[in-house]
């Protein structure tokens, strides 16, 4: 899929839109979701131009993919949610309900999250 550089997370990475950063290094940025669905709701994104989990796992080097997911776990521990548990979500594509076309992982925590998938 062609990466669209005008997506909202690309603007956040370029500093054009402010964000509430919880972790940043040269490869990833983690920041609080603007519309939290749980007491803790953090988005983790790679700084590279990957439109979805499909693109990321297809195009990124395996070492980068591995480090990214290690950092998701590390960020959850930094947030202090590893003890009580949390949910990781990667909405992918149309049926996955992906709204922002830059690959991102949701970390949701802080309450029991109920059913895995709500029926509409
Ligand atoms: P998706 O449905 O693509 O998996 O999730 C996109 C997420 O991005 C949503 O949870 C939405 O609340 C969040 N979001 C959209 N725009 C912004 C923004 O400008 N700032 C932040 N921090 N989150 C955003």
Please, what CATH class does the domain formed by 8-109 belong to?
Answer: alpha beta
Which pTM does this prediction carry?
A: 0.97
- Tell me the CA end-to-end span of the chain in Å, nearest whole number: 28
Per-domain boundaries in the chain: 8-109
**Tokens 């007491």 map to which residue?**
39
CA–centroid distance, residue 73 to ligand 1 (Å): 20
Q: pLDDT tens, 61-115?
A: 999 999 999 999 999 999 999 999 999 999 999 999 999 999 999 999 999 998 8
Which tokens go with 109?
Answer: 């925590």
Averaged pLDDT for residues 22-33: 98
Name the active-site residue from 41, 102, 104, 106.
Answer: 104
DSSP string, 42-79: EEEEESS---SHHHHHHHS-HHHHHHHHHHHHHHHHHH
Q: Tell me, what's the pLDDT at 118? A: 76
């Amino acid at each position: 899929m062609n990466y669209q550089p005008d997506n909202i997370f690309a603007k956040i990475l370029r500093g054009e839109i402010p964000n509430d950063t919880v972790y940043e290094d040269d490869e990833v940025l983690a920041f609080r979701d603007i519309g939290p669905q749980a007491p803790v709701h953090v988005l983790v994104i790679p700084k590279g131009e990957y439109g979805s989990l499909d693109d990321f796992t297809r195009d990124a080097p395996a070492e980068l993919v591995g480090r990214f997911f290690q950092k998701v776990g590390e960020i959850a521990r930094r947030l202090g949610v590893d003890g009580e548990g949390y949910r990781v979500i990667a909405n992918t594509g149309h049926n996955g309900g992906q709204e922002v076309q830059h690959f991102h992982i949701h970390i949701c925590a802080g309450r029991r999250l109920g059913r895995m998938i709500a029926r509409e």
